[in-house]
Chain A
Amino acid sequence: MTQTERKSEPSVILQLRRDLLAGFSVLLGLAGAALIGAPVIGFLLAPFVRGKPRVWRAVGRVDQFKIGDTVQVTFENANPLPWDGFLRNTSAWLRQESQGHFVAYSINCTHLGCPVRWEPGAQLFLCPCHGGVYSRDGQVAAGPPPRALVQYPVRVQNGLVEIQTTPIPLV
């Protein structure tokens, strides 16, 4: 080996060591970030993991509802959190069309979700937000809503009217 080659050998090894150490540090940093990052991101994705249970909730006795009248009923969501407060409940518009046959409409306007009001004098559902109007049967009568009011499943069991809880309608 020549003098120059012997002199450059330690430099080459030194550089190799530096490269290795740098690569090792970066890899270790990435590994640590991944280790913590995975559960952190997973935690943020919790809304997709939570189940979608549907439960039947009683809203009153059949004889409480006059045939043809559209009334507001309130019931508890499927699995509310202990601290949901007011938001444990949902409302719907309920009507007994004929003896024992009910229909329930979501209060959420199909345009962008604002609560629609039933106006008995006009026999119309009116939305306060952007001018949506629905007729008695939930079909769009005027304004921007793209489709009819969402209907919740309703059944009568043991003389009680029951509505099935549903996640907020996302059109």
Chain B
Amino acid sequence: MPGFLKKSWRVLDDRLGISKNVMPILRHRVPPRASWWYVFGSATLFVFILQVVTGTVLATIYVPSTQSAYESMNFITHSAFLGSLLRGLHFWGAGAMVLLIGIHSIRVYLMAAYKYPREANWLTGSLLMVLTLGMGFSGQLLPWDQNAIWSVIVGAEQAAKVPYIGRALAKWILGGPTLGGLTLSRFYAAHVFFFPGLIFVLLGVHLYLVLHHGISEPPRAGHPVDPKTYRDSYANLIRTKGVPFWPDAAWRDVTFSFICVVTIFLLALFVGPPPLSKVPDPTIIQASPQPYWYFLWFFALLATAPHGGETLFIIATPAVYFLVMFVLPFIANKGERSARRRPWAIGLVIMSVIIIGVFWWKAKLHPWVPAFDAEKLPASVVRSNDPAVRRGALLFNERGCEFCHKISGFGGERGPELSDVGDRLTREQMTRFIMAGGYNMPPFASVLSADDMKNILAFLSSRRVPGGSPSARSAK
């Protein structure tokens, strides 16, 4: 009965003012060549909506108490109908948010859309980025498993390194002198109430500003921003060449966001959420805490920063980055927008991407984590009948060398591989390393007896490239 529907729509429209107020906003004019580069902001928004929806739904089962957080998370993951998928959506959505907000800010930066008159857009956006990282960090604690509690302790210890206010800050994060039930509650309140509340408000301001100033036109080399003339030239562009946002530009936003959502869905379905680690008992010493993948690069930075450089790398460098981010619209709000005329901007972005990328790659290999579960070298690797060599191979495992050194595929990667150390170092050189240690190697002088040393040296000297083990050579 189309007539009846038409009438109902007319009444609804009249009372709600949709055609009068909402549709004009949807159809407001935007620059004509706003292309696929412009889809990242809306993608971030849609993924945020995904997070709110999946998070709210997860909250119908998750219990934020120390007694039940782990168990309820376990239940969601293994027993609740579609629980694993929901957790997966929320986890991969979180990663997508961090990635997308990074890409969006890079795009805005490279197109200098932070310049006049959109400085406030940039500032609200920067705050939104900080809050997004806060959501990513606070969310990791909520499963309340072993990985979660140690990650928060590491986070609090990093905060403690801030000059002057560090210890107070760390204590405030933990909710007391030590990690406890209060920590979980404050992180839950932050993750579910404080941060989202602030995000909603800032998002509202951010979107209002986008509508107020209009979407920035693609920059052109030779057309710098001049506050005296910009507003007029922009209004002119929109009037003469503008296209309606819906659907001329919006269809790209919807398409890309759809791709993002499908990707998140497939990852949630086929890879799933991160498995829960052990129960959050701080007296279980066997722990190897790791942040979620979007913070792994920072994890690598913490492990490889030069000794004594913690305050510089953990606190000062990110602080400078954020300071520059917030100060940017105050110091650079005029002039050329095109990246072609801004080589420093391109350089900064490339440098940042490379730095983060390299740390991510390094973290994936995690070469600094000792191989605590390294197995004793089998006979096929030792390849010797010499009792000294065999005893040395045993000591190589028992004295902890294998935690950090690899031989023929067995062992850790903290230190250099020793599969062919017999070719590279003399016994004197080996003795010096073992006795006195090195930059990242502890000294073993007080741990090894003279007999131990003799056997270990025999073993290490026998480590040579294939072509002759000592026993084969001596047999000849």
Contact = CB atoms under 8 A, between A and B. Distances in A.
Interface string A116-132: 11010111101011110
Contacts of B157: 111-113, 170-171
A53 B172 CA distance: 17
Contact of B370 (A88, A108, A121, A126): A126
Contacts of A143: 307, 440
B154 interface: yes
A133 B182 contact: no
A89 B283 CA distance: 7
A84 B167 contact: no
Interface string B127-166: 0000000000000000000000110011011101100001
Contact of A128 (B149, B161, B288): B288
Contacts of A171: 157, 160-161
B204 interface: no
B368 interface: yes
B441 interface: yes
Contact of B289 (A81, A85, A108, A114): A114
Contacts of B176: 47, 50
Contacts, number: 174
Nearest to A130: B303
Interface stretch (B38-46, B254-262, B398-406, B421-429): B398-406
Interface stretch (A17-25, A94-102, A134-142): A134-142
A142 B179 contact: no
Contact of A114 (B168, B170, B287): B287
A116 B182 CA distance: 25
A107 B167 CA distance: 19
Interface string A68-90: 00001010010011011111111
A108 B153 contact: yes
Interface residues of B, number: 64
Interface string B285-326: 111110000000000001101011010000000000000000
A142 B441 contact: yes
Interface in B212-236: none
Interface in A28-79: 45-48, 50, 52, 72, 74, 77
A153 interface: no
A83 B65 contact: yes
A91 B283 contact: yes
B442 A48 contact: no
A167 B177 contact: yes
Interface string B65-109: 111000000000000000000000000000000000000000000
Contacts of A72: 283, 285
A115 B287 contact: yes
A16 interface: no
Contact of A131 (B177, B283, B288, B303): B303
A113 B156 contact: yes
Contact of A141 (B179, B372, B443): B443
Nearest to A131: B368
A159 interface: no
A85 to B, nearest CB: 4
B280 interface: yes
A116 B282 CA distance: 12
Contacts of B158: 112
A84 B282 CA distance: 12
A93 to B, nearest CB: 9
Interface in B247-279: 279
A115 B282 CA distance: 8
B174 interface: yes
B437 A142 contact: yes
B182 A81 contact: yes
Contacts of A135: 442-443, 446
A81 B178 contact: no
A119 B307 CA distance: 23
B344 interface: no
A111 B177 CA distance: 18
Contacts of B440: 131, 142-143
Interface string B41-74: 0000000000000000000000001110000000
Contact of A87 (B149, B156, B171): B149
A121 B447 CA distance: 9
Given A114-B154, A129-B303, A84 B287 contact: no
A26 interface: no
Give the most central of A114, A135, A141, A142: most B CB within 10 Å.
A142
B305 A144 contact: yes
B347 interface: no
27 contacts: A45-B172, A72-B283, A77-B178, A81-B181, A84-B181, A86-B66, A87-B149, A87-B179, A90-B282, A113-B154, A113-B156, A114-B154, A119-B403, A121-B399, A121-B400, A128-B288, A128-B370, A130-B368, A133-B441, A143-B307, A144-B302, A144-B303, A144-B307, A167-B177, A170-B156, A170-B157, A170-B160
Interface of A: 45-48, 50, 52, 72, 74, 77, 80-81, 83-91, 107-108, 111-117, 119, 121-124, 126, 128-131, 133, 135-136, 141-144, 146, 167-168, 170-171
Given A91-B283, A112-B302, 5 more contacts: A47-B171, A47-B172, A90-B282, A131-B414, A144-B307
